[in-house]
Amino acid sequence: MVDVKRNTSKKKTFLQTICLFAVFAFCAMTAFVVIYPTFFVESVDASGLEGTPGLDSEGYYVIENDAFKINSDGGDAIVTTAGINRAIEWAKSQGYGKIRFEEGVYAVYNDTNNLYLTPHGGIIIPSDTEVDLNGASFVLEANFYGTYSVFGVAFAENVVIKNGKIYGDKNEHIYLFNYSAPLSNKGVGIWIAASKNVLVQDVEVYDTIGDGILADDDGIIKSKGGTASQNIRVADCVIKNAGRYGINFEAVVDGEISGNTVDGVKGVWTGYGIRVGTGVKEYKLNASTYTAKNIKVLSNNIVNAKGGSILCDFVENVEIRENVMINGGMAMLGAKNATVTLNQLINSTIRVRGKYSTPTFGVNALDEHSMIIYDGRN
C-alpha cells in the first residue's frame, strides 16, 4: 500500500477551529461552506483548451492538470476538486467518453453532509464515461462531516471507474462530539446512487468512516419507495479499514460483487465486510420495487470484519458462492431465495434469522470453530 502523506498539522488546526465555529454558529458556517467552493469552481478556466487535444494510444483523453489548475502533488483540495470536475465536464462537452488521469496524488474536498442527498460533492462522474485513475491516489481532505464521497455517480448510466487508490479520512476525521456520534457513518470512497450499468474494478479504498463502496437509491425515504441502482458490478477491488461496510449494495437490482478483498471493517456502525439488502423488513422482500434483488456475491475474501463477513439485510434472489470468510461469518436477517454454496468459513458462524430468510445450503467448508445457527427471531 502506498504511503500517502498528509499535511495534517495546519489542516487539523484549521478544521478544529471550524469545528468550534460549527457548534456555536452552525448556520453561518453552512453558508460559508456552500459559497466558498463555488467561488473556485467559477475561477477555473479551460479556454486554453479550445480545439482538439490529442488522445493517447488507447483512445483516452488525459486530463491536462495545468490547464485546469489541478494539483497532482496532494495539495489545494478545493481548487483541485473543482478543476477535476471542470476537466471532466469539458472532456464530455468535446465528446470524449474515455478519460485518464495523470499519475500523482490528488487531494479531494467534499461537503455533502446530508444522509438523504445523492452524491453532489467530491468528484462526480457523468453518464457514458470510462475513467482510468491510472494508479493515482485520491485523498479526502480531513473534515468533520458525517456524509461524504470521494467519487460520486448519481442518476448516471454506463460508467466505469478503474485502476486507482482512494483514501478516506477515518484516521484524521474530526468527530464533533464523540467517536460514536450518529453524524459519522456515511463517508464513502465511491457512492453510486440511482444509476445503471456501473463497473468499479481494480480500485483500492482505504480508511473511510462509512462504506468503501456504496450503491443505493435516489435518496427518497425508504417508506416512500425509491429508484434503486441497476446492473452494478464491483470486481477485483481491495477495501481496507472501512468504518461501516466494505461494500454495500443497499438498493441494487441485478448486481455482482466478485473477486474482492475486504479487510478490517470496524467503526461506528455494524462493520460487515459485504452487505446486500435494504434493511427494511416491512417490504417483506417482494412488496416494493425498491427491494434489493438478483445479486451475486462470488469469490470474495473477507477477513476480520467486526460485525461479520456478509450481511443479507432483506434481499431477494441472492447467490453467495466461493467466498472465504475468516473471523466473521454471515448473518441472514432477510434473504428470500438465497443460495449458499462452496464457501470456506474459518472461525466464522452463519446465523439464519426469522421467517424472512429461506436459504438453500450446498456444500460449504466449515472448520471446527465454525457453525450454522437457526435463530427463530423475526
CATH number at residue 40: 2.160.20.10
Give the list of residues 6+ apart from residue 291 with CB closer than 8 angstroms, or none: 228, 278, 283, 285, 314, 315, 316
Where is mean pLDDT largest: 61-70, 138-147, 354-363? 61-70
The whole-number pLDDT of residue 269 equals 63
Asked whether residue 1 carries a pLDDT value surpassing 60, the answer given is no
Phi-psi region of 22 (alpha: psi -120 to 50; beta: other; left: phi over 0): alpha
C-alpha cell at 41: 469552481
Asked whether residue 17 carries a pLDDT value surpassing 70, the answer given is no
Task: Let me know if residue 278 belongs to a domain.
Answer: yes
The whole-number pLDDT of residue 204 equals 98
The whole-number pLDDT of residue 119 equals 75
The domain of 147 spans 8-375
Q: How confident is the model at residue 221 (pLDDT cuts 50, 70, 90)?
A: very low
Residue 78, helix vs strand vs coil: helix
Where is mean pLDDT largest: 13-27, 82-96, 112-126? 82-96
DSSP state of 73: B
Residue 129, helix vs strand vs coil: strand
Asked whether residue 120 carries a pLDDT value surpassing 70, the answer given is yes
Task: Let me know if residue 314 belongs to a domain.
Answer: yes
In this structure, of 123-132, 172-181, 196-205, the range with the lowest mean pLDDT score is 172-181
Q: Which value, to the nearest 10 degrees, does the dihedral of the CA atoms of residues 217, 220, 221, 227 take? A: -40
Where is mean pLDDT largest: 50-64, 136-150, 212-226, 318-332? 318-332
The whole-number pLDDT of residue 310 equals 97
Q: With the C-alpha atoms ordered 53, 57, 59, 62, is the resulting torsion angle positive or negative?
A: negative
Average pLDDT rounded to a whole number, residues 36-55: 45
Spatial CA neighbour of 79 closest among 89, 88, 69 = 69
The whole-number pLDDT of residue 281 equals 54
Looking at the 3D structure of the chain, how many domains does it have? 1
Average pLDDT rounded to a whole number, residues 370-377: 84
Where is mean pLDDT largest: 33-37, 74-78, 142-146? 74-78
Asked whether residue 278 carries a pLDDT value surpassing 90, the answer given is no
Q: How confident is the model at residue 280 (pLDDT cuts 50, 70, 90)?
A: low
Task: Let me know if residue 13 belongs to a domain.
Answer: yes
pTM: 0.84
Task: Let me know if residue 3 belongs to a domain.
Answer: no
Average pLDDT rounded to a whole number, residues 163-186: 74
Asked whether residue 63 carries a pLDDT value surpassing 70, the answer given is yes
Asked whether residue 7 carries a pLDDT value surpassing 60, the answer given is no
Mean pLDDT computed over every residue of the chain: 82
The whole-number pLDDT of residue 228 equals 87
Average pLDDT rounded to a whole number, residues 168-180: 72
Cβ count within 10 A of residue 5: 9
Task: Let me know if residue 1 belongs to a domain.
Answer: no
Task: Let me know if residue 2 belongs to a domain.
Answer: no
Q: How confident is the model at residue 377 (pLDDT cuts 50, 70, 90)?
A: low
Q: How far is CA 38 from the centre of its chain?
A: 24
Q: Could you tell me if 295 and 321 are in contact, meaning their C-beta atoms sit under 8 angstroms apart? A: no
